[in-house]
Amino acid sequence: MMIEKTQITKDEIKELISGKKIAAIDYGKKRIGIAVTDIFHISLNPLKTIENNPENIISDLVKIVKENSIEIIVLGFPLWQIETESSIQTEIKEILSKLKEKLNLPVLLFDESFSSAAGVANMVQSGVKKSKRATKGNIDRFAALNILKNFLAEYEDNYV
């Protein structure tokens, strides 16, 4: 888990997310997967995948957040490459800054290492046919779902 340098405690995060709809974003150079939860954090759904078009990515994300009444955003951040910041990490930090500015909502960074592989496993577990699992957009949505599951598992005592 990573939340910028101004760290907040686990209890503060638990309180922050309580009763709020959360969106998880799996940011990729070509596509961005989005998953959402309800206010009770019972129903988790792989919402959609959008193309990463630098000209309108922020406006696309803002529209999705508003349409789905999202109150907290969890942005996947790869921690596997900690020694030097990668280009994808730089892009994610830029997205974080722009989303905070446009939405005035909490945007939390959360480790998304290996979320795509786990997303494929989630699709298998959910009964998604092999032909649909091969579709890249599906992998991105389910990777976002995995980020959301892991985030809730870390910050909610009653989440299984």
DSSP assignments along 56-97, one per residue: THHHHHHHHHHHTT--EEEEEE--S--SS--HHHHHHHHHHH
Count up the domains in the chain and report the number. 1
* b/e sequence 26-54, b meaning 16+ C-beta within 10 Å: bbbeebbbbbbbeeebeebebbbbbebee
Instruction: Give residue 47's pLDDT.
Output: 95
| Per-position pLDDT tens, the chain of length 160 | 444 445 788 899 999 999 999 999 999 999 999 999 999 999 999 999 999 998 999 999 999 999 999 999 999 988 765 555 678 888 999 999 999 999 999 999 998 865 444 444 554 565 555 555 455 667 888 899 999 999 999 888 765 5
What DSSP designation does 55 have?
T
Within-domain flag for 131: yes
Domain of residue 134, CATH code: 3.30.420.140
Within-domain flag for 71: yes
Within-domain flag for 38: yes
Residue 155 and residue 13 in contact, taking contact as beta carbons nearer than 8 Å:
yes
Within-domain flag for 4: no
Instruction: Give residue 65's pLDDT.
Output: 97
What DSSP designation does 38 have?
-
Instruction: Give residue 52's pLDDT.
Output: 94
In this structure, the number of other CB atoms found within 10 A of the CB of residue 115 comes to 26
